[in-house]
Every structure is written in structure tokens, then in C-alpha cells.
Amino acid sequence: MVSQGSADGTPLTDASGQGAGRSAYVSDDEKWTAVVGRDAGADGLFVYSVRTTGVYCRPSCPSRTAKRDNVRFHSGPEEAGALGFRPCKRCRPDRRLPLSPHGAAIVEACRIIEASEEPPSLESLAAAVGLSRFHFHRLFKEATGVTPKAYAVAHRSRRVREELAAGVPVTEAIYNAGFNSNGRFYAASHELLGMTPTAFRSGGAGELIRFAAGDCSLGSIVVAATAKGLCAILLGDDPDALIHDLEDRFPRAELVGGDPDFDRTVATVVAFVEAPGTGLDLPLDVRGTAFQQRVWKALRAIPAGTTASYSEIAQRIGLPAAARAVARACASNALAVAIPCHRVVRHDGGLSGYRWGVERKRTLLEREAGSGVKAPSGDGHPAASPRVR
């Protein structure tokens, strides 16, 4: 496959190795074909990691081809590095490659699409990279082989498939892929997956989880707990949708509602949601990858009444290039307010997407700003006070 290059034939890639080529390589099958064929035209469009070696490579890497089952694809070095993979010493996927001016614009547009919670409009993309709407659309299709809209759909589809294939719960996969509501995903699930998402469900087999739905000033709330501690605090407008969310997260668990003894726990959680700066004196059952756990611990260290940007959190956990991965970890958080992802904002201070709704985020921040009460210590453990049982 011939790559779309600059005037001197060099690939269109940015400082981190991202680029735009003749094909968007949006499906895993296309990417695997490029890896097997050591297609240099795919360099800069994605990298792949090998589970057994712990390294990530360019598609054209001359190293021996790994087994397909051990390979995972990533949008670029930043994503692979955030997951703990090291750059290959042979193909050096973390090194810069030359980039043409128009190539830089297309690369930036691709990154905007991938980082956006909803597909950005053609007008906003063109304005963001300093091109006219018509010129940008033509250049983007020439460089990637697809329209910006098709690229956004393919990117989401790929991410959902990767997440579900890895055993991630449906709801978490939905938000990791950039959908900001369950409803929008389920409406498009057959088009994206070719089947219902329940076919991919996993996790929670044989586990007993008590739960209850209620109301608070932010709307509906569902609280759930295992024997270890709170495993979910979900906020929304529809309690039935929140229970469906809980079922997605623990599809094979035994969910038990209507327990009067659990009402005290729910009351404690609701009181905390109404005054988040006071802290929550209940144990938590926090579940996530090692990277997510690092991010969530950093979030609990943000004092009430203050905020931090995604980039600042990435710096604090020692991965300054992982701001987008930090955003995905925030979106995967199942313990609303207890793990305060509402305290993370854009670098300009703007209130970016919040999986429980931007208005809820605004309300929580306003409450904390006016409370004058310090947040929990952020050590990842509940305070030393009597537990509700």
C-alpha cells in the first residue's frame, strides 16, 4: 500500500509518531495485515503492543511477527506507553518522523476526533486546524481514505470492539469509546458490533452485590456494595437506566435489592453526595486496571474546592503524555463523587464532559467551593471512623 506523503515522500506523522496515510487502517484486520506485511505505509497511523514482551512497535518493525492473540493495537505511542508498554529498540516507534504542513493539520484533526466525547462537526474541525471547510474535507479524505464522519464512526467501533473483546464491562466500554450515554450506544450497537453487546459481557460471576435506588438533589442515584465495600455510586435521570448500568458492570453477579439494612448505607452515601467536601466514611471496593487505580488515587488527592486538569493528573502519576488516557480513566470511574473525577477540568478551566452530566459536575464543584471543608486525604482508603454495616 502506498502512503500519502509529503513532497519528499516522507510519511505524514507528528512528533509522537502519529500520522495520516492512504488508508485509515481502522479495523483490526487491516492493522494486522499491515503488521504481517511490515507495511511502512501504516507507520505513524498506529502502533501495536505484544503482551508477552511488554514492548510496542511500528507496523513495519523488522522483528519476528508475534502471535495474533498476543497483539493489541493502539492509536499511538502515548496510549501504548500509558498502558505500561516500552518502545521497541529496533523500530523506535517513539521517535519523530518528518511531517508536512497539511499532514500536521490532518493528524491534529484525527486526534481531535479521537479525544472528543461526541463526533465534532466538519466546521469545528476545519476551524481547529485553520483550513476552510471544503479544503479540509478534501485533504482529510485524500490522506485517510475516509470522511471525518466515517473516521469518527470507525474509531468508536474499533474502541468498543477492543474493550469488549478484552472483557471490559459493557458500560465501561461504552464510555471508554467516547459515547456519553448508554442509549446512544445501544441505538447504534447492531451497526457497530453486528450483534447485541450482551454477547460480550463478563465479570462478577457468583458475587453477591446489594443495591438500592433512590433520589438526591442531583437526580436518581443507585448505590451498590460487595462484602468488601461500595462498588458503585451511579448518578442519572432514570433509575431503571442506572440499574441497567449496574447489571452491565456485574452481569453474572447476584444483585440483591430491597434490603432494609442497606438503607443506612444508601442514606450515608446520599448525605455525602449532598455535601461532598465532608468525606465518605465507608469502605470502597475499587476495581480497575493498574493505570486506572493510579489515576483514581490521584483524583482523591485533589482537595475539595479545587480542580486539576487532565494534563496535571498525568504529570502527577508520572506519565505526562497520558492526558487522554487519564480522561478515559475518569470516564470509567463507577464511584461518582467518592472518586472525585468531577474535580478534573480542561487545561483552560472549562467543564469538559462528565459521564454523570456536566450540570451535575458544575453543581458539585459549586458546592465544594462554598463549603470550605477539606476533602479526604486521598490515600485511597476510607477515614478511620465507624463503618456502616
Percent residues over pLDDT 70 in the chain: 76
Task: Give the pLDDT of residue 10.
Answer: 32
Task: Give the pLDDT of residue 19.
Answer: 42
Q: What is the CATH architecture of 208-272?
A: 2-Layer Sandwich (3.30)
Residue from 57, 88, 110, 330 carrying the catalytic annotation: 57
**Fold category of 28-87 in CATH:** DNA Methylphosphotriester Repair Domain (3.40.10)
pLDDT (tens digit per residue) in 130-166: 999 999 998 887 776 678 888 887 777 777 776 776 6
Place of cell 493502539: 74
> Where do the structural domains in the chain lie, given as residue ranges?
28-87, 101-145, 154-202, 208-272, 290-371
Task: Give the pLDDT of residue 6.
Answer: 31
Q: Quickly list DSSP for 321-356.
A: T-HHHHHHHHHT--BTTTS-GGGEE-TTS-----TT
Q: Is pLDDT at 55 greater than 50 in this prediction?
A: yes
Residue from 61, 88, 231, 341 carrying the catalytic annotation: 341
**Class in CATH terms, 290-371:** mainly alpha
The most confident of the ranges 30-44, 130-144, 337-351 is 337-351
Which grid cell is 204? 462478577
The mean-pLDDT minimum among 104-113, 203-212, 231-240, 376-385 falls in: 376-385
341 is catalytic: yes
Task: Give the pLDDT of residue 372.
Answer: 46
Sequence-separated contacts (24+) of 357-362 with Cβ below 8 Å: 357/235, 357/236, 360/218, 360/219, 360/235
57 is catalytic: yes
Q: Is pLDDT at 104 greater than 50 in this prediction?
A: yes
Q: Which residues contact 65 (CB under 8 A, 6 or more apart)?
A: 35, 36
The candidate with the shortest Cα–Cα distance to 373, out of 306, 277, 281, is 277
User: Using alpha carbons only, how large is the chain's radius of gyration in Å?
Assistant: 22
Is the alpha carbon torsion for 266, 271, 273, 274 positive or negative?
A: positive
Global model pTM greater than 0.75: no
Task: Give the pLDDT of residue 289.
Answer: 63
